[in-house]
Structure 1
Amino acid sequence: MTDRIKTYGLPPGGEVLHDFQIYEVKGGEIDNKHYPHKTDRPHRHSYYEVCVFIDDGGKHEIDFVTYSIQSNSVHFLSPGQVHRIFRNEDYHGYLIVFSSEFFPLGSTRQEDPLFYFPFFNNPTMLPILGLDESSFEEILLIVRQMEKESRLKQQSHSEILRTYLQLLLLKCKRHYMWKFAEKQKMNTPDFSQVQQFNMLVEKKFTEHLLIQDYAEMLGTSPAILNRSVKKIIGKTAAEIIVDRLILQAKRLLIYTDLSNKEIAFSLNYTDPSYFTRTFKKKTGKSPSQFRKELNEKYQH
């Protein structure tokens, strides 16, 4: 398989921690010798990234959806998501990047605790948080403390940065819940169940499990699971699984040289023609049409 898109890991060594880095960005380019890549070309990471936008100026494309960069906003990226950023000259913000291993602090959960933040590892939720000026200043204060600590490199350096990161994400989660709680029904038991369902889908979507299998893993019935997913997301549980498969298919179509048949097999479709029909039903285009149109767009 030939990747047309690069997957970047955190750069080794340098003047910063390997598992955590923070960059201030002004203007169109990242003026930092440690930053590993250009961000205006489609790429993905093996790590998490939080983009803190102080001033507006540009666009951010995440998994084929383009968002305007607004002042006082935070964008969240999970490992494997494909994105690119176009920054204007008056752009100002911070990039915070970290590994899943860096984040846990006293966590007793076996699974990745970052899956419990609604804006990570969850294609059904908006990966963007817009804030009022007062709330954003609270977030920005934490970010600037992180930046200051990252330069000190004194005793307990990594523990302090890890604590700041947890505080930042918990504050963002609080604001995110305030902003979307009513719309997404986040304060109901259904939301918690759907969040766990999304976590399982993210890990197992290529296995083509039945809804009954997911329900058993969650200790509920297929009917209750479907009702909860429909209430929170507005789609059936089966639709969520297919949507995740189609998102992966889009990534493979645009960012690899795999044929349609090879993509179907890589996603565990035993019948490539069924994969093609499913893709067209979901997107309105055949896999080949989608690849052609997106490649032409990116070339321009």
Structure 2
Amino acid sequence: MAHFRQFAFKKFGYFDFAGDLPEQLSEHAFNSFIKVVFVKAGGYAVIDFNEYQLQQDALFFINADQYFKFSDTCIGTLLYYNRDFYCVEIHDKEVACDGILFHNVYEIPVVYMDADISAAMQQIIQDVKAELEQEESSMEEMLRILLKKIIIKSTRIWKREHQVESEEAGQEVEFSRKFSQLVEWNFTQHHTVAEYAELLHITPKALNKRISRYSNTTPNDIIKNRIVLEAKRLLVHTHLSIKEIAYKLSYDDTSYFTRLFTKQVNTSPQAFRLQYQQA
């Protein structure tokens, strides 16, 4: 089943899939939408070149323009919406459209669910589907409430799993989210820890300490990984030359960019592109 609704500039829709997700995605341009994907156990997912084996039912939270793929054995439901639909007067930063699940410096957000939690989430998704069958004047707001329920419940699960329940830990996660946003907005122009420390009004040393507190990664790793991720996307999904990709990422010296990519990925940009073309 599939449904789509548009409320002025606000868009929301869903479709069920059962091994035919690639075909359904190819029928429409979904890249610009934020996506919440419920998928049953079995098969695997690839999100931005990272593979996840699905041994439990799971929810994936995928940003606009983020590369993703699900194996042809996957069964589930894909909800999709634009920023205008959900980013309206949301005061709780944790569950906003730029919240923990969508801008997270530590990992791609996925929530694995036991049977009870999965059943509860599936019921909310069923409520979404039922609401889309109605012609009520309050449909838009009800859909937003149901979507927020999914995001709130998932955020709580993520925080429990990552032991983010104390006030201090919550403050650190909020700080990491803010840093994550800055990297997402500025990675094509700002490449150094010092530049982001200045934006956050702290020293580079303090930034390193705060980001490393809950992870083995460093701010420099996060910045470089985001740059390299964008390079991978451009190498695989466009025909831009290596020089053009370097320039797009604000590297005037193509050789320096190539060395950076090779160091991070253990293969050159051209070899990486050829690997995916052959696959």
TM-score, normalization: structure 1? 0.82
C-alpha contact 1:206 1:267 (8 A) present in aligned 2? yes
Q: SS of the counterpart of 1:17?
A: strand
Match for residue 133 of structure 1? 115
Partner of 1:272: 254
The Cα RMSD (Å) is: 2.8
Residue of 164, 188, 197 corresponding to 1:215? 197
Percent identity for Structure 1 against Structure 2 = 27
Cα distance in structure 1, aligned partners of 2:221 and 2:3: 46
AA paired with 2:36?
V
**Partner SS for 1:232:** coil
Residue 95 of structure 1 deviates from its aligned partner by 1.0
CA positional deviation for 1:36: 5.4
For 1:201-280, list aligned pairs within 5 A: 201-280=183-262
108 and 249 in structure 1: CA distance in 2 versus 1, 3 angstrom threshold: same
Work out the CA distance in 2 between the residues paired with 1:159 and 1:132. 29
SS state at 2:51 partner: strand
**Alignment deviations for residues 83-139 of structure 1 (CA, whole Å, 9 cap, x no partner):** 122222xx43211111111013432599x93112x2213363133111111112121
Q: Is the 8 A contact 1:74 1:130 kept in 2?
A: yes
Q: Which residue of 2 aligns with 1:28?
A: 19
Quote the residue 2:41 is aligned against: 56
CA contact (8 A) 2:47 2:68 kept: yes
Change (3 A) 1:209 1:165: same
* Shift, 1:210, TM fit: 3.8
CA distance in 2, matches of 1:278, 1:224: 25
Q: Is the 8 A contact 1:44 1:82 kept in 2?
A: no
- Whole-angstrom distance in 1 between the partners of 2:271 and 2:105: 23
After the TM superposition, list the runs of 4 or more consecutive aligned residues in structure 1 that deviate by more than 6 angstroms.
none
* 1:276–1:286 Cα contact (<8 Å) kept: yes
TM-score by length of 2: 0.88
Distance in structure 2 (CA, Å) of the matches to 1:293 and 1:214: 33
Whichever residue aligns with residue 100 of structure 1, its letter is R
Q: Which runs of 5+ in 2 are unaligned?
A: none
Distance 1:255 1:114, change over 3 A: same
Aligned partner of 2:26 in structure 1 is 37
Q: Please give the per-residue CA displacement for 1:211-263, whole angstroms capped at 9, x wherever unaligned.
A: 33322322322211111112223222122111110111111111111111111
* Residue 296 in structure 1 maps to residue 246 in structure 2: no
Structure 2 counterpart of 1:165: 147
Which residue of structure 2 aligns with residue 7 of structure 1? none
Q: Alpha carbons of 1:161 and 1:44: their partners in 2 closer, same or farther (altered >3 Å)?
A: closer
